[in-house]
Amino acid sequence: MVGLGIVSAFIIMAIFAGFIAPHDPIEQHPEDRFQGPSWKYPFGADDVGRDIFSRFIYGSRSALKTGFLIVALWSVIGIPLGVIAGYWRKADFIMSRAVDVAIAFPMLALAVVFIAVYGPGTSNLVKIFGVTGWVGFAMLTRNSVIRVREAAVKKTYKGKGNIGTFRHVLRVSIALVMLGLPAAILLVSAMGFLGLGVQPPNPDWGRDLNAYSRYMADPWPKPLMIILPGTALTIFILGFYLMSDWLRKILDQDETFYLPGVSSQ
């Protein structure tokens, strides 16, 4: 529930960023540069006088949007392939070979090369991560379908038929999406940290953390420029994982005959 509250707060913050943010995220106030936290600047002001809190709020909108698009591609590509591979052995063999080829190339390295050729930006991040990151979704879905088939052979959920399989795959898909979102957001933030995501002066979590990191060793309150947004990003990712774990437990409580080896229901 704590995770759900954290994630809900961040989603609301991203949707209503225009109403919550006290300042324009790219507006500069040189006279206020390096100002500490105050009523005017809750997280302080950066090296050119921009409100760090406003930049973080608008950065959440960009991170969530890009993360959702990437996970949507992972789901559209990976989950159907996993279901097909779980049902048909010939398709399983073909997909397994495709997975072997895909995992032979590091996703981040491919992303760096792709962006070096086609230029930085969130649209290119969605394309490269969406096309290369489906492997995990496909393999986990495939393994889940195979477990359901084995359970059916053992009469674990006798009489449930394809409806039981569909419900199980649906539950696995929900869990994959919930776990994939924080992973996608971290990937986007990492690429932003390398300067390959959203371009300045637009706010971006990763890029801003990189820009502010050079002030970590400076006198107080300059280190707050990275400590506060970095802590907020950590809490956001933690909230997602807490909520995902809670949701997984809820999905496993009802009709546990979907799980292999369980025959009590």
Predicted confidence band at 254 (pLDDT cuts at 50, 70, 90)? very low
56 burial (CB, 10 Å; 0-12 / 13-18 / 19+) is buried
Choice between 5 and 170, residue whose per-residue pLDDT is larger? 5
Is 259:164 a contact under the CB 8 Å cutoff?
no
**Four-residue CA torsion sign, 160, 163, 165, 169:** negative
Q: How far apart are CA 17 and CA 37, in angstroms?
A: 19
Backbone angles phi, psi at 76, to 5 degrees: -65, -35
Query: In this predicted structure, what is the pLDDT of residue 152?
Result: 60
Is 177:101 a contact under the CB 8 Å cutoff?
no
Structural tokens at position 98: 């495709």
Query: In this predicted structure, what is the pLDDT of residue 258?
Result: 35
Query: In this predicted structure, what is the pLDDT of residue 58?
Result: 92
**Four-residue CA torsion sign, 223, 224, 229, 235:** positive
Structural tokens at position 96: 């397994």
User: Residues near 47 by Cβ (< 8 Å), separated by ≥ 6?
Assistant: 33, 34, 211, 212, 215, 225
At position 234, the amino acid (one-letter code) is T
Query: In this predicted structure, what is the pLDDT of residue 62?
Result: 87
99-145: pLDDT as tens digits? 888 777 778 888 888 888 888 888 888 988 888 888 888 888 888 88
Structural tokens at position 243: 């909520």
Place of tokens 């005959």: 257
Fold of domain 2-258: MetI-like fold (1.10.3720)
Three-state DSSP class for residue 217: coil
User: Residues near 9 by Cβ (< 8 Å), separated by ≥ 6?
Assistant: none
Whether residue 238 is predicted with pLDDT greater than 50 in this model: the reply is yes
Three-state DSSP class for residue 204: coil
Choice between 100 and 248, residue whose per-residue pLDDT is larger? 100
Is 146:153 a contact under the CB 8 Å cutoff?
no
